[in-house]
């Protein structure tokens, strides 16, 4: 998707593709295939296994490389296996990437992996980092649109609070369909319960059916999220961001998905949203889970 121009339409790009040493032959093979695609906008393809070499002077980073979860696992069970990857990659970004690099963490558990990368990149601003919650937002929009019998484009914003996990919180309280409250079309309790649970479990459902975790939908939402980091959207959207200046009372040293918007050319947490008691209770649970995840990898925070 990146090579075919979905990320920066009409701009030349240099792709630097990082793999682990065990898969160095596969990444060479991928490079050959990308060359054979003869994409008009791909000016350079570099592959390798050393982030300190591959991250040199990069403008954007998609941190997707991590051990994926299998059937029956929760994403947080990957913390010990994947935490070291994000420590090293955070250090490499800090030392060799451009000083205004933008980083999207996709590898799971993405919120806490993003926190690890932030802590290991002290010369970069935490605002340059985000974790993916666009996939959950897209899942919620698709489920809600189907239930309401409308197209996704007819829905206004739907946002995700918290962790990319089975505690995430779908917020459609202020969502409208062509200007009318969503609650005129679907039942509020369906939104708070069934819909929320379906989004929470969608990743696991895909793994059960496919035998592998999501790929196409994760890729599409990653490109969409990176474009959002460049402030290309004039809407309210979901993004996992560092919580240090959040106005909602969430622990400040977490990467937490909030409703965000673009403010003077950079993304910011959307202020002043009214949150129902029912949603607030769920938001506190997802916050607690992220605090527990942080405690489990405290040694990687430097």
Question: Using CA atoms, how far apart are residues 294 and 115, in angstroms rounded to an integer?
Answer: 8
Between residue 267 and residue 296, which ones bind ligand LMR under the rule CB under 6 A? Answer: none
The yes or no reply on residue 188 touching ligand LMR (CB under 6 A) is no
CB of 203 to ligand LMR, least distance (A): 2
Number of residues near ligand LMR (by CB under 6 A) = 9
Question: Using CA atoms, how far apart are residues 196 and 161, in angstroms rounded to an integer?
Answer: 11
CB of 100 to ligand LMR, least distance (A): 27
Nearer to ligand LMR, 206 or 268 (CB): 206
C-alpha distances in Å from residue 101, one per residue of 52, 71, 97: 14, 35, 6
Name residue 130's beta-bridge partners: 104
Question: Using CA atoms, how far apart are residues 43 and 15, in angstroms rounded to an integer?
Answer: 8
Nearer to ligand LMR, 82 or 214 (CB): 214
CB of 176 to ligand LMR, least distance (A): 27
The residue from 108, 120, 257, 286 that contacts ligand LMR (CB under 6 A) is 108
- Whether residue 83 contacts residue 76, with contact meaning beta carbons closer than 8 Å, is answered with no
Nearer to ligand LMR, 108 or 159 (CB): 108
CA of residue 104 relative to chain centroid, distance: 6
The yes or no reply on residue 135 touching ligand LMR (CB under 6 A) is yes
C-alpha distances in Å from residue 250, one per residue of 227, 269, 289, 290, 301: 26, 12, 12, 11, 19
Nearer to ligand LMR, 70 or 122 (CB): 70
- 157, 164, 261, 299: the active-site residue: 164
Check if 299 is active-site.
Answer: no
Between residue 60 and residue 79, which ones bind ligand LMR under the rule CB under 6 A? Answer: 69, 75
CB of 170 to ligand LMR, least distance (A): 14
CB of 53 to ligand LMR, least distance (A): 28
Which residue is listed with tokens 């990687």?
300
CB of 251 to ligand LMR, least distance (A): 22
Q: By beta-carbon distance, which residue lies closest to ligand LMR?
A: 203
The site map against ligand LMR for 193-222 (x = CB under 6 A) is ----------x--x------xx---x----
Q: What are phi and psi of 78, to 5 degrees?
A: -90, -5
Nearer to ligand LMR, 67 or 146 (CB): 67
Binding residues for ligand LMR (CB under 6 A): 69, 75, 108, 135, 203, 206, 213-214, 218
What positions carry a catalytic annotation?
Answer: 164
């Amino acid at each position: 998707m990146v090579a075919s121009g979905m990320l920066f339409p009409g701009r030349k790009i240099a792709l630097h593709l990082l793999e682990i040493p065990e898969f160095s032959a596969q990444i060479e093979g991928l490079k050959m295939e990308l060359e054979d695609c003869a994409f008009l906008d791909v000016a350079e393809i570099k592959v390798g296994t050393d982030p300190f070499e591959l991250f040199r002077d990069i403008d954007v980073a998609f941190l997707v490389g991590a051990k994926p979860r299998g059937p029956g696992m929760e994403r947080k069970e990957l913390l010990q296996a994947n935490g070291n990857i994000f420590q090293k990659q955070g250090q490499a970004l800090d030392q060799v990437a451009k000083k205004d690099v933008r980083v999207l963490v996709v590898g799971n558990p993405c919120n806490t992996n993003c926190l690890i990368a932030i802590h290991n990149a002290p010369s970069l601003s935490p605002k340059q980092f985000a974790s993916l919650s666009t996939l959950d937002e897209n899942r919620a929009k698709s489920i809600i649109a189907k239930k309401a019998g409308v197209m996704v484009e007819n829905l206004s914003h739907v946002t995700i609070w918290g962790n990319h996990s089975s505690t995430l919180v779908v917020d459609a309280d202020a969502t409208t369909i062509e200007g009318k409250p969503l609650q005129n079309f679907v039942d509020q309790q369906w939104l708070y319960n069934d819909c929320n649970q379906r989004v929470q479990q969608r990743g696991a459902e895909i793994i059960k059916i496919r035998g592998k975790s999501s790929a196409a939908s994760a890729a599409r939402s990653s490109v969409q999220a990176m474009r959002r980091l460049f402030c290309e959207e004039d809407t309210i959207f979901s993004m996992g961001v560092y919580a240090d200046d959040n106005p909602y009372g969430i622990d400040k040293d977490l990467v937490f998905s909030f409703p965000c918007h673009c403010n003077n050319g950079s993304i910011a947490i959307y202020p002043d949203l009214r949150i129902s008691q029912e949603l607030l209770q769920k938001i506190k649970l997802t916050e607690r889970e992220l605090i527990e995840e942080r405690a489990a990898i405290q040694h990687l925070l430097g």
